[in-house]
Amino acid sequence: MVEGEGEKDMKVGIVGLGLIGGSLARRLVKNGTSVVAWNHRPHPYEQAQADGIACVDSLAALVDAQPDVIVLCNPLKTMASIAQELQPLLAKHSAITLTDVGSVKGEVREQMQQAGLVECYVGAHPMAGNELSGWDAADPALFDGALWAVTVDDATDRQRFETVARLITEQSGNELIVLDDATHDRAASLISHMPHVVSTALVNELVDDDQRNIAAALAAGSWRDMTRVALTNPERTKAMVDEDAANVEQHLRSIAKRLEDVADQLRDGKDVTPFFTAAEPFRAYKAADSKNGEVSTLELPEDGWQQVLLDSASRGEVVTGLDADGNAAILKCPAM
Amino acid sequence: MVEGEGEKDMKVGIVGLGLIGGSLARRLVKNGTSVVAWNHRPHPYEQAQADGIACVDSLAALVDAQPDVIVLCNPLKTMASIAQELQPLLAKHSAITLTDVGSVKGEVREQMQQAGLVECYVGAHPMAGNELSGWDAADPALFDGALWAVTVDDATDRQRFETVARLITEQSGNELIVLDDATHDRAASLISHMPHVVSTALVNELVDDDQRNIAAALAAGSWRDMTRVALTNPERTKAMVDEDAANVEQHLRSIAKRLEDVADQLRDGKDVTPFFTAAEPFRAYKAADSKNGEVSTLELPEDGWQQVLLDSASRGEVVTGLDADGNAAILKCPAM
């Protein structure tokens, strides 16, 4: 939240009280935000209501509660059918903004387009999660320090963007960066979806080895760290990879090429020092003090505000809030 | 240590008081073992002597102290010259057994062969270490719970093997598995050397990306875990990979092929479920309770004791000690 700015009262609708939706709902209520929620099964309702979350028994009732913004926290595979059900309801309440928390953004925007909801839509993806799932694992602290990616395109409505940005910064107390869908989905493939495949490939190499028990006995910290993500929820990982398939395919081919290149160098007795030296900018980035950033104001023009925010993210800046004029408070972070 | 067996007094010579040699020397002294040490520079001597480690100023003096076993804890690149210097000294003290702690075993045995020292040599590699180096980082606790690989061949002397095995189990309080050099070096490539290259390849993919600051901002737990080993000491990693080049080359090609296969499946819209399911045996192995093992005695024949111990390691068993007759106490661990 920008210092000196008063919080605007906001009512937030949550669709889906699983790990992410439940954690966000509980966090928002804790921060004094009014929250109304619908879940496809009512089993979390008793606990949720005790926490101060108003639970309703249909999407129609959720819309009738007239929240400022509805956050779709349902699984990606149910997105199309929920969007279809929401469309006629939102047609009568056009002030409501729609956002989501899905880990792939291009596909969700397409579904909103198909359902005729794209005018009220702003994409979002909080970098929060763990290996658990469901309401029982929901925890307001899951969002502590979480960065959100907010995804926009040229047609995104400025006021609706501001609503989602204030939800994130003022109501949830988090920071954000603004991206287009393609940049988001490519970056998510690079730092998460593709590495999950690599981790599983390492495990499969071990499993297929005749001396797998010996190799496993010798395994220490490097192996444990690199295979941890291969241990948890293969169905979820598989779905994540499928949803971002084109980017993951490209990144897998690029990594495979890098590994083949090192293999060639080792075969030819060449010096592999440059391969290891090439990682130096990331080592310096990790060693930099992330607390050393300065906060400043980034003016957002009426036209082209999307690109101004995208350029800011490319420079390694994050948005910590919006001021009364809708300009962004940004924090300069270490960059490569 | 096998219960009911008394500890045999042992004097251990240590060459090199770096992270591993220093930690082992301090651990052995703490456990009541007599330790004499030589380092190529005397800077750790004051602290080492205060810890109860007898420090000498030459390899000749180390041999003259007549330890039961000398543990070579010097870097691999100095192994050949130290072996050459030791050869005439050990010729006069043939009762002394020679071992080492190098992370690659085939190359060390070759150097011992070339120096004419292979008759008194038994290979060893403790699975202990961290990202630090040098005497200042030496810590007896570094070996807590460490498994040692002991490497032998058909010509390895049974008594010398027992000396090294008792050093590990009775003096250092650790467990061991017995391997041949090739099996060790291949397994070490699979679970450590190759994954270090993969980790660095991931970082290089990020560094080369136009939107590296955005990708780095979105990075969470999976990325952090998979790139941790790429952050520490690239020179040491490079040396490790070079020393085990043939195995690392083969493993890199195999992983690259696995990644290309998944990329093909994603391109062709095929189901990638089998790829993720293939890791299931390792998931079950990690979920198994490692404390559930039973201890039993493995009889070691005069001839072929090496193969009996290698087969035991393949079954996922570890050696916890030797009894008075030289038979092995083994612990059955979870296996795949």
| Residues of chain A numbered 279-298 and touching chain B (CB < 8 Å) | 279-283, 285-286
Contact A225 B226 (CB under 8 A): yes
- What would the mean pLDDT of B75-103 be, rounded to a whole number? 96
Helix (H) or strand (E) holding A125: strand A123-126
Does ipTM top 0.95?
no
Q: What per-residue string of b and e applies to A276-294 under the rule 16 or more CB within 10 Å gives b?
A: bebbebbbebbeeeeeebe
**In whole angstroms, what is the distance from residue A280 CA to residue B231 CA?**
8
- B237 in contact with chain A, both atoms CB, cutoff 8 A: yes
- Which two three-digit tokens encode residue B39? 């380092």
Name the one residue in this structure whose structure tokens are 């990325």. Answer: B223
- A275 in contact with chain B, both atoms CB, cutoff 8 A: yes
Taking phi over 0 as left and psi of -120 to 50 as alpha, with beta for the rest, B155 belongs to alpha
- A73 in contact with chain B, both atoms CB, cutoff 8 A: no
Contact B211 A279 (CB under 8 A): no
Closest CA to B177 of A207, A211, A227, A223: A211
**pLDDT value at A5 more than 60:** no
**In B, which residues are within 8 Å of A270 by CB distance?**
none
DSSP state for residue B119 in the 8-state scheme: G
- Minimal Cα–Cα distance from A236 to chain B, Å? 10
**In whole angstroms, what is the distance from residue A195 CA to residue B248 CA?**
20
The residue of chain B nearest to residue A202, with distances taken between CA atoms, is B255
**In whole angstroms, what is the distance from residue B312 CA to residue B332 CA?**
9
- B332 in contact with chain A, both atoms CB, cutoff 8 A: no
End-to-end alpha carbon distance in chain B: 27
Burial of A132 (0-12, 13-18, 19+ CB in 10 A): middle
pTM, to two decimals: 0.91
Check if the beta carbon of residue B322 is closer than 8 Å to that of residue B2: yes
Name the one residue in this structure whose structure tokens are 């962004």. Answer: A328
Model pLDDT, residue A6: 44
pLDDT in tens, A107-166: 999 999 999 999 999 999 999 888 788 999 999 999 999 999 999 999 999 999 999 999
Model pLDDT, residue B236: 87
Model pLDDT, residue B19: 95
- B182 in contact with chain A, both atoms CB, cutoff 8 A: no
- B25 in contact with chain A, both atoms CB, cutoff 8 A: no
Model pLDDT, residue B292: 61
The residue of chain A nearest to residue B227, with distances taken between CA atoms, is A226
- What would the mean pLDDT of A88-114 be, rounded to a whole number? 96
**pLDDT value at A259 more than 60:** yes
Residue in A272, A280, A286 nearest the CB of B242: A272
- A234 in contact with chain B, both atoms CB, cutoff 8 A: yes
Residue in A188, A211, A250 nearest the CB of B183: A211
pLDDT in tens, B239-295: 999 999 999 999 999 999 999 999 999 999 999 999 999 999 999 999 986 656 788
- A307 in contact with chain B, both atoms CB, cutoff 8 A: no
Model pLDDT, residue A292: 61
- A147 in contact with chain B, both atoms CB, cutoff 8 A: yes
**pLDDT value at B3 more than 80:** no
pLDDT in tens, A25-55: 999 999 999 999 999 999 999 999 999 999 9
Contact B266 A248 (CB under 8 A): yes
- B218 in contact with chain A, both atoms CB, cutoff 8 A: yes
**pLDDT value at B98 more than 60:** yes
**In whole angstroms, what is the distance from residue A81 CA to residue B170 CA?**
66
- What would the mean pLDDT of A98-104 be, rounded to a whole number? 96
Residue in A215, A245, A250 nearest the CB of B191: A215
**pLDDT value at A1 more than 60:** no
